[in-house]
Copies of this chain bind each other. A is one copy, B any other.
Amino acid sequence: MVKKRQILVIGNNTTGCTPKHEKIAYEIGVEIAKSNSLLITGGLGGVMNACSHGAKDANGLTMGIIPQDDPTFANDYCDIVIPSGMGFTRDFLNALSADGVIIVGGGSGTLSEVCAAYMSKKPMVAIRGIDSAITYIDGYVDYRKNVKIIGVDTPKEAVSKIIELITA
**Among candidates B4, B71, B107, B108, residue contacting A80 with C-beta atoms closer than 8 Å:** B4
Residues of B within 8 A of A3 (CB): 71, 74, 78-81
Interface size class of A (residues with CB under 8 A): 35 or more
| Interface-side segment among A22-30, A92-100, A152-160 | A92-100
In the complex, the count of this chain's copies comes to 4
| A80 lies within 8 A of B82 (CB) | no
Q: Which of B69, B78, B107, B115 contacts A109 (CB 8 A)?
A: B115
State how many angstroms separate the Cβ of A28 from the closest Cβ of chain B.
Answer: 18
A93 and B82 in contact, given A111-B115, A115-B112 (Cβ under 8 angstroms): yes
- The interface bits of chain A over 1-13 (1 if a CB of B lies within 8 angstroms of the residue's CB, else 0) are 1111010000000
Distance of A108 Cα from B118 Cα, bound (Å): 7
Given the complex, which residues of B lie within 8 Å of A6, measured CB to CB? 80-81
Interface residues of A in 41-86 (CB under 8 A from B): 56, 61-63, 69, 71, 74, 76-86
Taking CB as reference atom, which chain B residue is nearest A77? B2
